[in-house]
């Protein structure tokens, strides 16, 4: 029996797989956020073993698990592979993680998950119109919300900027690899935000991921004419949002099944 309130939320990243047990009615993580290393190479078999290790660390059995995954996710299947092994492409994340854990698993893009936590319970709660969440890390993850509703699988780190993918120009990885100062990188990131403003006219942009915690170091370079807020849930956002998404999606699937049964039974 799946508990209607408690869901295990897991955030899969390039360096670590993190998670905890979440009360989806409040957005609170009730346990310590534990972490295991993402195996290298990050193949389905190796990641499934790491996933199982994290589940066992929480003694989680039978209950629902929500997973934020670094990929375009369609019907539980990884359609791309960002910072994980290409062997994931075309594989069902929900089946692989569900089989090894023995639990129902529902998956969503990792940046979508982080944004969902902020829109439901964080700095984006109650904001009308369009809200964009940008996670700044190895790439630039994105989540788009319209009046609080998620538009899945946006890839706003992949449009062209300065003749290259935007995330190759303005991600935190680029800052580190090119040894840019915070001011130099802030100018690049501001160009990216201006392009987002031109394309989508958001009412709010939320910044998450590692570099969001350093905002004061580059805030003077940010001139885009859109309100900017720093994510409230920080490193917990992905896991909390994944749990919330799984809870809502699971309820929707149950309603579809129950509705079909009623139709079939007359």
Q: Residue 235: pLDDT band by 50, 70, 90 thresholds? A: confident
- Report d(CA 40, CA 111) in Å as an integer: 22
Biggest CA pair distance of the chain: 67
Neighbours of 174 (CB within 10 A): 19
DSSP class of residue 239 equals: H
- Report d(CA 39, CA 174) in Å as an integer: 23
33-to-19, 88, 110, 151, 240 alpha-carbon distances in Å? 5, 25, 16, 27, 10
Per residue in 140-192, pLDDT (tens digit) is 999 999 999 999 999 999 999 999 999 999 999 999 999 999 999 999 999 99
What is the 3-class SS of 130-145, one letter each residue?
A: EEEEEEECCCEEEEEE
* Under 8 Å between Cβ of 241 and 114: yes
- pLDDT for residue 1: 44
41-to-70, 118, 127, 245 alpha-carbon distances in Å? 15, 31, 40, 28
- Report d(CA 151, CA 24) in Å as an integer: 20
Per residue in 182-234, pLDDT (tens digit) is 999 999 999 999 999 999 999 999 999 889 999 999 999 999 999 999 999 98
Helix (H) or strand (E) segment spanning residue 174: helix 172-177
With 0-12 CB in 10 A as exposed, 13-18 as middle and 19+ as buried, what is 38? buried
Angle at the Cα of 118 from the Cα atoms of 242 and 249, rounded to 5 degrees: 35
């Amino acid at each position: 029996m799946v508990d209607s309130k408690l869901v295990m939320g897991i955030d899969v990243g390039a360096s670590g797989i993190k998670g905890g047990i979440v009360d989806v009615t409040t957005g609170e993580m009730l346990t310590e956020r534990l972490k295991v290393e993402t195996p290298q190479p990050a193949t389905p078999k190796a990641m499934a073993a790491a996933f199982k290790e994290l589940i066992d660390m929480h003694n989680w059995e039978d209950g629902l698990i929500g997973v934020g995954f670094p990929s375009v996710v369609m019907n539980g299947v990884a359609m791309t592979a960002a910072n994980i092994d290409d062997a994931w492409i075309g594989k069902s994340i929900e089946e692989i993680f569900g089989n090894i854990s023995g639990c129902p698993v529902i998956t969503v893009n990792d940046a979508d998950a982080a944004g969902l936590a902020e829109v439901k319970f964080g700095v984006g709660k109650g904001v009308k119109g369009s809200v964009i969440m940008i996670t700044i890390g190895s790439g630039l993850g994105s989540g788009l919300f319209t009046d609080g509703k998620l538009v899945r699988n946006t890839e706003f780190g992949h449009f062209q900027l300065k003749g290259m993918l935007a995330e190759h120009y303005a991600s935190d990885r680029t800052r580190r690899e090119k040894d840019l100062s915070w001011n130099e990188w802030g100018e690049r990131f501001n160009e990216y935000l201006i392009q987002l403003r031109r394309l989508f006219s958001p009412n709010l942009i939320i910044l998450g991921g590692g570099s969001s915690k350093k905002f004061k170091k580059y805030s003077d370079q940010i001139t885009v004419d859109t309100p900017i807020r720093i994510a409230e849930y920080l490193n917990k956002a992905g896991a909390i949002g994944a749990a919330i998404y799984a809870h809502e999606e699971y309820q929707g699937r149950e309603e579809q099944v129950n509705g079909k049964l009623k139709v079939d039974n007359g």
